[in-house]
Structure 1
């Protein structure tokens, strides 16, 4: 008798995109392998999601959980009511339109959502919050949130709020994290809990306690630089499996 493996939860992982030129003559999608590797290692079935806003309902019917990834771009400040755009802001409008729609849809269905780096920033805006557009201009004595050392190493620590989902998952009051961002959550949306800060006060983690699993982290846990990183991915995949 053939062994039938237990069904893995299908985890949608959003892609990054780049215009024609540079790597290729035509527009292209890209994603670091470790996003999918760690989802698979934690028991999920990673499925890459291209930026097709009109197909969001079909994707939502397929997936059990959503990872919104990072990338070298920013959420349009218009989407959180900012009157001005900082000179450093770079947009990928179709990607943001798709990620906004699928994040809203996942939240409406109470599917587990994990926002990573830029994905945490988008999640905060979808949930009604705002962003700091450029940390060096907004935060006095800010840490190097675009760390100079390799992303496989920690750049600073995150102070975790006791009693939060992040604290329950990791069991840690402090987490070593890598850091690759120039923006961050400023004001959290209504009912959203800020569950982690950098020592300079920059928001590093947000969560929505009203939902089954809704967590955004400003660092990249897919690099697995601490036990807490693996715990985050394992908890997310377990929630997507209904456990």
Structure 2
């Protein structure tokens, strides 16, 4: 029996150039640090969709991370991609397969930023392709100030898993996204920005299936670490 639950963490991927002359994986250290601080044992998951089930047979939970890319609208019936949409098909194919494998096994899933949007798609939901084009009077969801600072607040829906975890009706969050969840499918919305943009989803039919649009690994709000603590505890 492991003292620390084994947490599979999805990676970002980049083409050849920059750090390496060959394609490479990368992820900010604070994702891993947040899992470790919460009592988990993080392991990185390379992008092999055919191995998603095998990975999920071994890990105790799945953390789907964010990145500077978007979920293909073809996966949720969104029509042609908006000009501002950036796709990473290999990464999305793997993350969607891994998320579905986790949900099928009822293993805990935490989706962050793009991972939250992917989780909503796995619930059968839909997305907003580009917030400035679809939300009148929208906040600056790609905040101009550093990600280590809050960009705006969110209202937490009463009675949700997220509300039980953070113990508050409001949180300060950082914001780094141009897309958002439009509908949560079979899931429920647990957080909303002042402009009405959905900031979190969850699924009460699963042991722990939670997504947040912000980046709690930065801990810009004192309640952020509680999200990782609850996720890792659910993985025990």
TM-score by length of 2: 0.98
Q: How many residues align?
A: 236
2:133 maps to 137
Gaps of 5+ in 2: none
1:83-98 equivalent positions in 2, closer than 5 A: 83-98=79-94
Residue 200 (1) aligns with residue 219 (2)? no
Gaps of 5+ in 1: none
RMSD (Å), alpha carbons: 1.0
1:15-54 equivalent positions in 2, closer than 5 A: 15-54=11-50
1:180-219 equivalent positions in 2, closer than 5 A: 180-190=176-186, 192-219=187-214
Give the CA deviation at 1:23.
2.8
Greater Rg over alpha carbons, structure: 1
1:39-188 equivalent positions in 2, closer than 5 A: 39-188=35-184
Query: Aligned with 1:114: secondary structure?
Result: strand
- With over 3 angstroms needed to count, the CA separation of the structure-2 counterparts of 1:6 and 1:23, relative to structure 1, is closer
Q: Following the alignment from structure 2 to structure 1, what is the Cα–Cα distance between the partners of residues 51 and 190?
A: 33
TM-score by length of 1: 0.95
1:232 maps to 227
